[in-house]
Structure 1
């Protein structure tokens, strides 16, 4: 200890200083050793615990519930589960806006319903057209063009359109807690998929940037696409006014089987349209997780369930209670709803 010779500080003071330094180092080590919160936008509670407990069990090698990474498939509905769906589905808002954009090329729409009513802002006239009118609007705005042209129109709309209540871009109205959840699952070896009743061609242009889910991991409703040679001699894919597949309700398990090829072990939805996906997920062998987002926050988002025309949650809610599925109370379980900034 020759290096200490000649020091004049009292031995007691030197010893106290060393002890204090040791405690500081130990505390710093303890703080740095604490793992970050995997779901920072979730409040502590039963829903958050159910998720982290499930992931902990299926990723523990040698444990009774261990699931190999290749089988860690998670599926998410989109409308009302990953992003807002009120006061109407966002794809419908896109279709309405596209009618206005395309109107100069269709002077006949000034006298034809439902286009006349839509252009005039006559909601009653549009509603009176019913399902037939909606199909006419969807056909006019979603078909008769190449897949590339349609993708371009979707991206232009995403970049410019704003929600009527929040005055924010539609793709900023994604749920921060679900972004955190998907990132947490991917960190733990999951492959995340969207399985939505929305149009697959409508979702694929923007979901990778927004959710981190590549377009090949999006399952949705689709129309017929036809291969043609364009006027410039180059091949193109044309969107035809004919329905190919509806990925909603009982169509979701069919779509999962057709496009994913593995039964999920983890699934999240928010409405009766997701019931069959949740049933299919939980009926498999081994550990399973089913979650439902319950919209209970009228102040930060919307509050609705059994009586809503959009995102009706009735039968799925009853089954969730009966089978012990995780029901997320948006108001109670989420610290925040949307990301802080207006864009993604």
Structure 2
């Protein structure tokens, strides 16, 4: 299983656990963001929240309109050496391969085994979608949920030797809690699979499944043995990435966010939609991966996903806050229990 190999082969598997409520952040009144250094990024966040959440402020925004959207991979948790759903799919391929020897000659399977992110992403993510179809389709949504839970409970990150759902950024957990304490709805808007993220989003981030927007395929309703079931199919319906993110926000939220958080060019359209010509005060933030010691350092040439070029260039002119992980965060991950 990929979760058992060394870093060049994705991961080392050991005893894992689902963090659940233990990942919740305790926010003090004195400092709601203790893992953030006292830099311009932290000040920008606090100033914005104070302006929109304080009654009587000229920038006050009613609670119903305080909507914040977050990318997931690379923004809320790590996305190296591959996005975690891709590692899950790779482990599933390896688990199922003995029963499907025909997959050995599949170009997408070969690309995944080589960690060829560019190959999987080419032609509108054709290879990745094929991998997800092979490993996700044909089972009920309950069966899929259980497979993800089983994987999260056992697989570990290859470099950090901790469960994947503990490779979550502590400063972003604090930010989520801080926003909710000030009347914000916090939504995930990610290119990842919506069914995959909904398994852990509530326990790990405090974000309920109905506030998760992601890529998804068609599901089919049927009665099996007298029980209503939903079965995942091979038909892709929606890819929630790049220009698809504002579309997903409009379709599933129905309100324009006033705050958006991302880390790559894939999030640029979401941040533009949130901050440019918005009749309400707005805020955009980009997490820049600059810490090769505590996490990873990349932007223009990532080894995995998360290319950051055009959004970084656009940030100063649009007033977006850029977080320098190395210099703005006192810690990256929560300390191990």
If the length of structure 2 is used for normalisation, what is the TM-score? 0.86
Q: Which residue of 2 aligns with 1:141?
A: 135
Structure 2: runs of 5 or more not aligned: 1-27
The answer to whether the 8 Å contact 1:219/1:259 transfers is yes
Q: Which residue of 2 aligns with 1:16?
A: none
Does 2:31 correspond to 1:37? yes
The answer to whether the 8 Å contact 1:252/1:276 transfers is yes
Structure 1: runs of 5 or more not aligned: 1-33
Q: For 1:290, what is the secondary structure of its paired residue?
A: strand
Q: Which residue of 2 aligns with 1:25?
A: none
Report deviation, 1:129: 8.0
The answer to whether the 8 Å contact 1:290/1:326 transfers is yes
CA–CA separation in structure 2 for the residues paired with 1:156 and 1:252: 29
Does 2:249 correspond to 1:256? yes
Q: Decide which structure has the larger Cα Rg and report it.
A: 1
CA–CA separation in structure 2 for the residues paired with 1:175 and 1:307: 22
Counterpart of 1:276 (choices 269, 290, 294) is: 269
Q: For 1:319, what is the secondary structure of its paired residue?
A: helix
Counterpart of 2:114 (choices 118, 123, 135) is: 123
Q: For 2:74, what is the secondary structure of its paired residue?
A: coil
Q: For 2:301, what is the secondary structure of its paired residue?
A: coil
Higher RCO, 1 vs 2 (CA within 8 Å, ≥6 residues apart): 2
Q: RMSD of the alignment, in Å?
A: 2.1
CA–CA separation in structure 2 for the residues paired with 1:266 and 1:126: 30
Q: For 2:105, what is the secondary structure of its paired residue?
A: coil
* Runs of 4+, deviation exceeding 6 Å: 124-130
Report deviation, 1:243: 0.7
What are the within-5 Å matches in structure 2 for residues 156-305 of structure 1?
156-230=150-224, 232-283=225-276, 284-305=278-299
The answer to whether the 8 Å contact 2:108/2:128 transfers is no
Q: Which residue of 2 aligns with 1:54?
A: 48
Q: For 1:182, what is the secondary structure of its paired residue?
A: helix
The answer to whether the 8 Å contact 1:113/1:133 transfers is no
If the length of structure 1 is used for normalisation, what is the TM-score? 0.84
- 318-327 or 188-197: which moved more? 318-327
